[in-house]
Amino acid sequence: MNRPGVLLDTGPLVALLSAADANHDRARRAFAACAPPLRTCEAVIAEACFLMRKVHASGPAEVLALGARGVYEIGFSLAQHWREVEALLRKYASRPVSLADASLIRLATIHQDARVLTFDSDFSIYRWDRNRKFDVL
């Protein structure tokens, strides 16, 4: 089992909550292997709520309920990292980088932890703390 603090991206969170998702079983195994709380950002939670609303009406509430139960925590406030996240969005502008991706890259630097639970292959390209690779779970 991984120690607490694994970074959490949108895809695994949505897959965990949606039994119809093609990655549901994969997400269940991944969450079982990670000690809570996972670290994430508000942009990931916003994306997950938006996507879960398409699954069913109570989907967004289910996303928030996981946070309330301690499955994940919000690891930083974007308001304190505008410039750094903006720089990451510019750096990876040629990739399909989202605010959530850039926020997770920044979160890795803040917490000095490269472990990320994601289904996004771009995390094999992204670098945190200038040139450090992510450990994709």
Q: Is residue 102 part of a domain?
A: yes
Q: Which residues of 51-88 are buried (b: 16+ CB within 10 A; e: fewer)?
A: bbeebeeebbebbeebbeeebbeebbebeebeebbeeb
The CATH number assigned to the domain holding 15 equals 3.40.50.1010
Q: Is residue 11 part of a domain?
A: yes
Low-confidence ranges of the chain (pLDDT < 70): 1-2
Q: Is residue 62 part of a domain?
A: yes
What single DSSP character describes residue 21?
A: S
Distance (Å, whole) CA 107 – CA 130: 13
Q: Is residue 1 part of a domain?
A: no
Number of domains in the chain: 1
Quote the tokens at residue 22: 């093609």
Domain that holds residue 46: 7-136
Q: Which residues contact residue 70 at a Cβ distance below 8 angstroms, ignoring those fewer than 6 apart?
A: 36, 37
| Residue 1, pLDDT score | 65
At residue 54, the 3 state secondary structure works out as: helix
Q: Is residue 2 part of a domain?
A: no
